[in-house]
Amino acid sequence: MRTVSEALTAGITKEWMIPPSKFFMLLETVGGVDVELLSVDGRTVELAEGVESGYREKAEFENEKITRVKITSAVAQNIKWGYSARDVDNRKVTSTVAVVDGSVERVKSGIAYSKGLAHGAVVGRWSAVQMFNPSGSGKIAIVNQLGACPYTASGGINLHRYDTEFSTTASYAISKKAGNAADTVIKFRGEDFASSVGTLMQQSRALQDTMVKFLLSEPIILSPGTGICMVGNSANFGVLGNFQYYLEDEQ
């Protein structure tokens, strides 16, 4: 099989003359293209719209052998196609895949946020920091990274589910896209309690001022009216928490 590689300009039809061929195949495309194949006597053998890599056409009769190829793309892209005087229908198909980094796209879209929050030690009380998605927000928060640090003494910090909103003044996360406005949906608070609050999800233990990460093989999803908090596993030391997340519309 002989192959042809070409950079197509959006909306411009490219035409090639080839030796009489029995077989045509698109080997590499990024998006759909329109293909017209013409025979020795100038007739259109095949007209295909929006086809991608893997598309193939075979001339069944001698007078249908392909001698001209026309390809049009709606977008600029690099393509590769092949032709042969023989039937090579079982030949291996190759393709090009466009890969998009979803995390970068979320930052570009302005829906990704980061927040650091601390609550100091209080004698005889359990300090905690909370991330809470208020009821009626219309959003879900997808939490993809969490870190914690006991910053007034060595000890353990646990990750808890806690769906009761803390009562202190709320603060908000900043956008990961520099220059964008802060989030106005998810609320962050620090508070201290007479005993531990919430339901245990994960445990950690660290030296003072040492950051540890909670294990998130899958993200935590906070629907409206739900929250998580980081709580000391005993009284008398402060908690520092780091949160990274992005928002999507509630379905």
Structure confidence by residue, pLDDT tens digits, 71-84: 999 888 999 999 98
Number of Cβ within a 10 Å radius of residue 5: 11
The whole-model pTM stands at 0.61
95 contacts 29 by C-beta, under 8 angstroms? yes
Catalogue all structural domains in the chain, each as residue range(s) with its CATH number: 2-84 (2.60.120.380), 103-249 (2.60.120)
Which range is least confidently modeled, 32-36, 81-85, 92-96, 240-244? 92-96
Which range is least confidently modeled, 79-88, 143-152, 163-172? 79-88
b/e string for 63-77 if b means 16 or more Cβ within 10 A?
A: ebbbbbbebbbeeeb
Question: What does each C-alpha distance from 79 to 10, 24, 26, 30, 239 come to in angstroms?
Answer: 12, 14, 8, 7, 56
Residue 106 backbone dihedrals phi, psi, to 5 degrees: -65, -40
48 contacts 79 by C-beta, under 8 angstroms? no
Structure confidence by residue, pLDDT tens digits, 80-132: 999 988 766 544 444 444 545 578 888 988 999 999 999 999 999 999 999 99
Residue 78 tokens, joined? 């690099």
Query: Residue 138, class by beta-carbon neighbours within 10 Å (0-12 exposed, 13-18 middle, 19+ buried)?
Result: exposed
Q: What is the DSSP string of 173-195?
A: PEESSTTSPPPSSSEEEEEEESS
Q: How confident is the model at residue 159 (pLDDT cuts 50, 70, 90)?
A: very high
Residue 53 tokens, joined? 């890599």
Cα–Cα distance measured from residue 104 to residue 34, given in angstroms and rounded to the nearest whole number: 32
Report the amino acid identity of residue 35: V
